[in-house]
Structure 1
Amino acid sequence: MEEVIGPRLYCCSNCRNHVALHDDVISKAFQGKSGRAFLFSHAMNVTVGPKEDRELMTGLHTVADVYCSDCHEVLGWKYERAYEESQKYKEGKYVLEKAKIARENW
């Protein structure tokens, strides 16, 4: 009989706090400060910092850093606003850097 395994998760690589579900990955083709990053539709157990405008590879965006709610490690950012029409799909989504998260239940 097969064991029932919970959902595949991503957790903070620093403290193992669960921060995202694998099912919420939209794209694995993003670039963060420390290398590859993933775009998620949702994140959990995170806090969102103040909004600021940043010039990113795809243009100007209003973003807010995303922190682990347990250890306060910066994990990535949340897109608050995209100024270019082609980038509007990112609004409200989260980018978590691969170097800052670890897989769990895989």
Structure 2
Amino acid sequence: MGKIIIEYLEGQKIYACKKCNVHVTNQDYLISKQFTGQSGTAFLFDKGVNYLTGIPEDKKLRTGLHTTQDIMCIKCQTYLGWKYLRAYEQSEKYKEGKIILEKLYLTKIKWN
């Protein structure tokens, strides 16, 4: 395996992996807190960093059929959520390319 390059985000209100504190995204990229993941509360973000993606899978979610990829922390490989690759319902197309991060697997850094 090659060298892992970790990106550190600038600014305040950083969301990080709860297990190893690697930065994943920040408050500026937050779209919605009104989502539910496998573990409960989840957040929709426009983008993130320092994650690996799994194999694309078609999944029947509460809002219809989507093609998604699991997201894991680049450093410790902890499951964090998923990425939407494709939404089959027109009303769900806004999710494409966005990521869901589950609150249970996140910690907050620099929330003064």
**Normalising by structure 1, what TM-score?**
0.94
The one-character-per-residue Cα deviations of 1:23-60 (angstroms, maximum 9, x if unpaired) are 10000000000000000000100011110000001000
Deviation of the 1:8 alpha carbon = 1.3
| AA partner of residue 61 (structure 1) | H
Gaps of 5+ in 2: 1-9
Partner of 1:29: 34
- 1:16 and 1:29 map into 2 onto residues whose CA distance is 24
Partner of 1:59: 64
| AA partner of residue 99 (structure 2) | Y
Deviation of the 1:6 alpha carbon = 3.0
What is the number of equivalent residue pairs in this alignment?
102
Deviation of the 1:7 alpha carbon = 2.2
Partner of 1:47: 52
Deviation of the 1:21 alpha carbon = 0.9
- 1:87 and 1:105 map into 2 onto residues whose CA distance is 32
- 2:48 and 2:84 map into 1 onto residues whose CA distance is 12
Q: Greater share of strand residues, 1 or 2?
A: 1
Gaps of 5+ in 1: none
Partner of 2:82: 77
RMSD between aligned alpha carbons?
Answer: 1.0
**Normalising by structure 2, what TM-score?**
0.89
The one-character-per-residue Cα deviations of 1:43-80 (angstroms, maximum 9, x if unpaired) are 10001111000000100000000000000001000000
Partner of 2:106: 101
| AA partner of residue 104 (structure 1) | I
Deviation of the 1:13 alpha carbon = 0.4
